[in-house]
């Protein structure tokens, strides 16, 4: 059984912590979070020790890390974990800045790393892709993806997450590329704040539409 450390004990970290603790193939070997109360609460719930990031990365018995911390830490923590030889499961996005993400290519290109594009593993989406690949749908002319959350996230989360496009619609961008098996060559997008004015004050939108064009048209 492989030991993993969880980095981040917030909203998504608690979900990943539960999943790791209940997974019979891995064991939760430590909780890392700069907010001591959050780390201690989750550690107590799953009988795992509270560790510093340095301790988790230096421990040779810990095979991998789950990075579920705030978006602005994803890239730096991933690079540190890769240099420490850990397997990495990291929440998306890897970073909010494209140049910063590209600058880490040398450290991450050979890393044992998976970004949290979980919809690729959903049986429903897999069935759609399999049917398309087998020719069961016919000639594909367009792909329409609609995603909704039951309610907007709190403004405090929007302020640090990357917002609707980088944090939420990123799943749809990944689905389009994966299902079609093509890269995007043109993008047109627009959005508005129609639900929560507080999100607009942060410079983001809560409703959007995006059109993606691939090389095949």
Q: Do 71 and 17 fall within a single domain?
A: yes
Q: Do 100 and 161 fall within a single domain?
A: no
Q: Do 32 and 96 fall within a single domain?
A: yes
pLDDT for the residue 151: 84
- What's the domain range around 38? 2-116
Backbone angles phi, psi at 215, to 5 degrees: -60, -30
How many degrees, rounded to 5, is the angle at CA 25 between CA 68 and CA 45?
Answer: 55
Domain stops at, among 83, 116, 149: 116
Q: Do 36 and 93 fall within a single domain?
A: yes
Q: Do 68 and 101 fall within a single domain?
A: yes
Rg (CA), the chain: 19
Q: Do 126 and 204 fall within a single domain?
A: yes
Backbone angles phi, psi at 5, to 5 degrees: -110, 140
**pLDDT (tens place) for every residue of the chain, 217 residues total:** 899 999 999 999 999 999 999 999 999 999 999 999 999 999 999 999 999 999 999 999 999 999 999 999 999 999 999 999 999 999 999 999 999 999 999 999 999 999 999 999 999 999 999 999 999 988 888 999 999 888 888 888 888 888 999 999 999 999 999 999 999 999 999 999 999 999 999 999 999 999 999 988 8
Distances (CA, A) of 105 to 111, 142, 189, 216: 10, 32, 28, 28
Distance of CA 126 to the CA centre of its chain: 19
Domain stops at, among 70, 91, 116: 116
pLDDT for the residue 149: 85
pLDDT for the residue 153: 86
CATH code (residue 127): 3.30.360.10
Domain count within the chain: 2
pLDDT for the residue 207: 95
DSSP-based helix, strand, coil % in the chain, nearest 5: 45, 20, 35
CATH code (residue 23): 3.40.50.720
Q: Do 41 and 144 fall within a single domain?
A: no
Q: Which residue, 40, 56, 45, is CA-closest to 20? A: 45
């Amino acid at each position: 059984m492989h030991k993993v450390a969880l980095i981040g004990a917030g909203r998504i970290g608690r979900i990943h912590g539960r999943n790791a603790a209940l997974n019979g193939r891995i064991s939760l070997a430590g909780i890392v979070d700069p907010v001591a109360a959050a780390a201690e609460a989750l550690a107590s719930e799953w009988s795992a020790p509270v560790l510093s990031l340095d301790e988790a990365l230096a421990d040779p018995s810990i095979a991998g890390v789950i990075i579920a911390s705030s978006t602005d830490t994803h890239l730096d923590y991933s690079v540190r974990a890769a240099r420490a030889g850990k397997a990495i499961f990291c929440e998306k996005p890897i970073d909010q800045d494209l140049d910063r993400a590209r600058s880490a290519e040398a450290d991450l290109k050979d890393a044992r790393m998976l970004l949290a594009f979980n919809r690729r593993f959903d049986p429903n989406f897999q069935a759609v892709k399999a049917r398309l690949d087998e020719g069961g749908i016919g000639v594909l002319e367009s792909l329409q993806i609609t995603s909704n959350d039951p309610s907007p996230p709190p403004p405090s989360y929007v302020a640090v997450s990357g917002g609707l496009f980088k944090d939420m619609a990123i799943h749809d961008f990944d689905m389009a590329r994966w299902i079609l098996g093509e890269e995007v060559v043109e993008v047109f997008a627009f959005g508005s704040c129609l639900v929560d004015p507080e999100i607009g004050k942060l410079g983001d939108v809560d409703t959007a539409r995006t059109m993606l064009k691939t090389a095949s048209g």
